[in-house]
């Protein structure tokens, strides 16, 4: 019986996770998967309960599970805490603890939602991008990091470090993914000003030699940010370091229409972790307004990558498409002529569509 660790987290995390578990239970019934769910604490809720953003018990639960379903962490309540004990640090430490070095963030435009994008229909129609983000290296983790007092005032430092090994393994993920798609990899860096980017570019070029059927292009991150909104259809797989991948995948959310639609899978050598790209959205938390589709689509990735059940994954994705096609929308993607519904109602409708098949 596959065990799923469920880490709802903070803010809208528990709201979207609840709807996702609802959908996964229907998928389990329809495809005879016998899933077992066990909840754990992460982030602000874990700080409140245990004093740590990542309790040992949560690490144990994640390591012994077949997959992890995660909501989001953070919020104003914990903003005054210092970096090592902030909610977000719990997530960063969990990613590192599980060696989740590859973050896959697909951004595919739904036919029913083309007009939900702030970009013109002609620009976004047919866009289908996979951002492959390096997740456990770079500037989010490098030492030294911190703020120190100096006679002239405070001084802050972040350190960006990448090794050949780290770049090689993420580049392999990108090229492998491209083989199953349109066979193009855009590698993003700032090789004109950053040493880590210079290394990045050289290693990606070397990895590319083993994939002659895949076209490789290099693009500076600032140009990529511009090209993503100018002509998103030029991209197939984008591979980027931790920081650039973070920024560019949020930008890709606007091509699809809302950050509430973007799922992600974090994969490494052990248990995979599945989470919506968005954060805890404190501005709408507790109001039954959040879009649960990014979390539900993350569950589809969980079925595909961790449980190796493509049929169940496709069924969940089709159920989402069906509900959108029927005109149901949460507030972030609502438009004139569509039916605005709550988080819970969206979860119910997807679960019903999935059950009907
Ligand atoms: P955010 O993604 O939480 O919210 C950005 C905007 O998008 C907000 O206006 C929010 O209402 C909206 N939004 C986000 N998800 C939505 C959804 N599912 N449905 C509808 N609208 C949605 O980013 P933020 O405001 O920069 O950060 C808020 C908190 O979340 C911070 O504490 C931040 O550190 C944390 N955060 C956590 C994660 C994570 O847990 N993986 C990721 C990003 C930010």
Read off the pLDDT of residues 154-200 as tens digits, 9 standing for 90 and up.
999 999 999 999 999 999 999 999 998 999 999 999 999 999 999 99
- Asked which of 230, 255, 280 is the last residue of a domain, the reply is 255
Beta-bridge partner residues of 185: 216, 237
Q: Determine the Cα–Cα distance for residues 141 and 127; give it in Å rounded to an integer.
A: 32
Cβ < 6 A, ligand 1 pocket: 12, 16, 72-75, 88, 91, 259-260, 275, 278-284, 290-291, 294, 332
- Asked which of 205, 232, 255 is the last residue of a domain, the reply is 255
* Residue whose CA is at the smallest distance from ligand 1 atom 40: 72
CA–centroid distance, residue 179 to ligand 1 (Å): 32
DSSP 72: E
Q: What's the number of CA atoms in the CB half-sphere (13 Å) around residue 209?
A: 7
Say if residue 163 is in the same domain as residue 277. Answer: no
CA–centroid distance, residue 286 to ligand 1 (Å): 13
Report residue 253's pLDDT band, with 50, 70 and 90 as the boundaries.
confident
Clarify whether 56 is annotated catalytic.
Answer: no
Phi and psi at residue 79, to the nearest 5° = -65, -25
CA–centroid distance, residue 279 to ligand 1 (Å): 3
Clarify whether 310 is annotated catalytic.
Answer: no
Report residue 328's pLDDT band, with 50, 70 and 90 as the boundaries.
very high
pLDDT in tens, 197-251: 999 999 999 999 999 999 999 999 999 999 999 999 999 999 999 999 999 988 9
Say if residue 21 is in the same domain as residue 69. Answer: yes
Whole domain around residue 48: which residue ranges?
1-108+261-357
Decide if 291 is inside a domain: yes
Two tokens, residue 100: 């989740």
β 128-134/102-108 pair status: antiparallel
Q: Determine the Cα–Cα distance for residues 185 and 238; give it in Å rounded to an integer.
A: 6
Whichever domain contains 345, its CATH number is 3.40.718.10
Catalytic option among 241, 246, 305, 332: 246
In ligand 1, which atom is closest to the CA atom of 292?
18
Q: Determine the Cα–Cα distance for residues 108 and 245; give it in Å rounded to an integer.
A: 16
Which helix (H) or strand (E) is 69 found in, with range?
strand 67-72
Decide if 356 is inside a domain: yes
Decide if 113 is inside a domain: no
Catalytic option among 128, 158, 250, 348: 250
Say if residue 151 is in the same domain as residue 137. Answer: yes
In ligand 1, which atom is closest to the CA atom of 275?
41
Say if residue 304 is in the same domain as residue 333. Answer: yes
- Asked which of 233, 255, 277 is the last residue of a domain, the reply is 255
pTM of the model: 0.91
Q: pLDDT value at position 273?
A: 98
Domain count, the chain: 2
Clarify whether 222 is annotated catalytic.
Answer: yes
pLDDT in tens, 84-137: 789 999 999 999 999 999 999 999 999 999 988 889 999 999 999 999 999 999
pLDDT in tens, 16-55: 999 999 999 999 999 999 999 999 999 999 999 999 999 9
Q: Which of 136-150, 175-189, 248-262, 302-316 has the lowest mean pLDDT?
A: 248-262
In ligand 1, which atom is closest to the CA atom of 9?
40
Residue 83 in this model has a pLDDT that exceeds 80: no
DSSP 197: H
| Residue 6 · residue 37 · CB < 8 Å | yes
Say if residue 88 is in the same domain as residue 127. Answer: no
Report residue 59's pLDDT band, with 50, 70 and 90 as the boundaries.
very high
C-alpha closest to that of 306 among 167, 104, 58, 108: 104
């Amino acid at each position: 019986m596959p065990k799923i660790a469920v880490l709802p987290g903070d803010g809208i995390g528990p709201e979207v996770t609840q709807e996702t578990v609802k959908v996964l239970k229907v998928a389990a019934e329809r495809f005879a998967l016998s899933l077992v769910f066990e909840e754990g604490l992460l982030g602000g809720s874990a700080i409140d309960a245990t004093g740590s953003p990542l309790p040992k018990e949560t690490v144990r639960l994640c390591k012994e599970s077949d997959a992890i379903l995660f909501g989001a962490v953070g919020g104003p309540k914990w903003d005054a805490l210092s970096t090592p004990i902030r909610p977000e640090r719990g997530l960063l430490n969990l990613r590192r603890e599980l060696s989740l070095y590859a973050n896959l963030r697909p951004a595919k435009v739904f036919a029913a939602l083309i007009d939900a994008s702030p970009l013109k229909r002609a620009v976004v129609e047919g866009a289908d991008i996979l951002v492959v983000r390096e997740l456990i290296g770079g500037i989010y983790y490098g030492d030294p990091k911190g703020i120190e007092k100096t006679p002239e005032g405070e001084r802050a430092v972040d350190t960006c470090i990448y090794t050949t090994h780290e770049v090689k393994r993420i580049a392999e993920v990108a090229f492998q993914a491209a083989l199953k798609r349109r066979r193009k990899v855009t590698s993003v860096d700032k090789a004109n000003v950053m040493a880590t980017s210079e290394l990045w570019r050289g290693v990606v070029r070397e990895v590319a030699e083993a994939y002659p059927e895949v076209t490789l292009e290099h693009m500076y991150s600032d140009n990529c940010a511009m090209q993503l909104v100018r002509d998103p259809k030029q991209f197939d797989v984008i591979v980027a370091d931790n920081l650039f991948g973070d920024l560019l995948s949020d930008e890709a959310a606007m091509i699809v229409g809302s950050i509430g639609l973007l799922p992600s899978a974090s994969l490494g050598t052990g248990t995979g972790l599945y989470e919506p790209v968005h954060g805890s959205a404190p501005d709408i938390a507790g109001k039954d307004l959040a879009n649960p589709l990014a979390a539900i689509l993350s569950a589809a990735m969980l079925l595909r990558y961790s449980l190796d059940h493509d049929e169940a994954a496709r069924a969940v994705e089709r159920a989402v498409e069906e509900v959108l096609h029927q005109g149901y929308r949460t507030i972030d993607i609502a438009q004139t002529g569509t039916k605005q519904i709550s988080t819970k109602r969206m979860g119910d409708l997807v679960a019903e569509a999935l059950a009907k098949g």
